[in-house]
Chains A and B, each alone.
Chain A
Amino acid sequence: GAVVSQHPSWVICKSGTSVKIECRSLDFQATTMFWYRQFPKQSLMLMATSNEGSKATYEQGVEKDKFLINHASLTLSTLTVTSAHPEDSSFYICSAREQGSYEQYFGPGTRLTVT
């Protein structure tokens, strides 16, 4: 089956620093990748959709300058949380979709804690 990895699986950073999270499709080419944020005991909220080689589309209320998304290749998308604050602490999950497919394959998630 399709495998999506995320790195790191967890990260602790200081307030004001930036953190980069990688999402990789290991055995397929992902033309579209999605980034979700999940607060404790809440549902997944879509942050943005990224298509390879083009700018990401952000959901309403998500600051594009704070959450930088790059989808430079068919197997890698990155989410950079810039100038992180404690309220950015959350579980970030990516998913990837292969060209021509409707299915999304989820990564294992990255737990971010900002101190």
Chain B
Amino acid sequence: AQKITQTQPGMFVQEKEAVTLDCTYDTSDPSYGLFWYKQPSSGEMIFLIYQGSYDQQNATEGRYSLNFQKARKSANLVISASQLGDSAMYFCAMREPNTGNQFYFGTGTSLTVIP
């Protein structure tokens, strides 16, 4: 079974609008971490936001927030006030201690911000 599932291969959003990128995960480990990374065309992986499985509050980092629904095993990324520079690939990832803290990545979502 896939550890991380991103069902949106591509998304479009109007500049200044908000967009939600979906991510669901699968783990039996009670302790895990969820991450979102942005990968522009240059290839570098840019860390955006982190949510720990025991965190009570949804994580927020500037225009990024993580909608963490533990019972549904979802960790959607919300980008508010989209900017043209947000156009990139976005990867959801999970760190699982019982596999040596290895990272599992989803297949990614390509986001295009339309002016």
Residues of A near any B CB (own CB < 8 A): 34, 38, 41-44, 46, 49, 91, 93, 95, 97, 102, 104, 106, 108-109, 111
Contact = CB atoms under 8 A, between A and B. Distances in A.
Interface residues of B, number: 19
8 contacts: A43-B108, A93-B45, A102-B101, A106-B44, A106-B45, A106-B47, A108-B42, A108-B43
A42 B47 CA distance: 18
A57 B110 CA distance: 31
Given A44-B91, A102-B95, A108 B44 contact: yes
Secondary structure of the A contact surface, majority rule: strand
A42 B107 contact: yes
B64 interface: no
Which 9 A-B pairs give the minimum distances between C-beta atoms? Answer: A106-B45, A109-B43, A108-B44, A43-B105, A44-B105, A43-B107, A102-B101, A43-B108, A91-B43
Interface string B32-54: 01000100001111010000000
> In this complex, which of B44, B45, B107, B108 has the most chain A Cβ atoms within 10 angstroms of its Cβ?
B45
Contacts of B108: 42-43
A4 to B, nearest CB: 10
Interface in B67-115: 91, 95, 97, 100-103, 105-108, 110
B45 A49 contact: no
Nearest to A42: B107
B103 A43 contact: no
Given A102-B33, A102-B95, A46 B102 contact: yes
Given A42-B107, A44-B105, A111-B43, 13 more contacts: A42-B108, A43-B108, A44-B45, A93-B43, A95-B103, A97-B101, A102-B95, A102-B97, A104-B95, A108-B43, A108-B44, A109-B43, A109-B44
